[in-house]
Amino acid sequence: MPVYTYEHSGPACAAGATIEAKQSMKDAPLTLCPHCGGAVRKVLSRVFINTPRGNSSLKNLGFTKLVKRDKGVYENVTARDGESRYMHADKPETMPNLKKTITD
């Protein structure tokens, strides 16, 4: 289950200014601190704020990035071993091999 961070709207309690709560994505966000009952609000996780910058970090994270080079031609700037560097919209064999990327 994902861990969400909440911060106290008022003064921090013994649990700290921010608290973490393990919640299902279906759960409604907490409004009250489970430790002190004070009001809390959800803080966006850093995962959503720190976006990878370079193509190599995207590649390491398992992303595939296609850059349009021409009509129907895309450069796979994160091409892995055995993948075509250029993808042609009308040639399925040049598509990125997602099965290879998704291994675990």
| Maximum pairwise Cα distance, the chain | 61
Judged by beta carbon, residue 17 or residue 98, the one nearer Zn ion is 17
Q: Which of 4, 14, 22 is nearest to 38 (CA)?
A: 14
**CB contact at 8 A, 63 and 78:** yes
Could you say which of 7, 13, 23, 66 contacts Zn ion (CB under 5 A)?
Answer: 13
Binding mask 34-53 for Zn ion (x = CB under 5 A): -xx-x---------------
**CB contact at 8 A, 35 and 13:** yes
Shortest distance (Å) from residue 66 CB to Zn ion: 46
Chain contacts with Zn ion (rule: CB under 5 A): 13, 15, 33, 35-36, 38
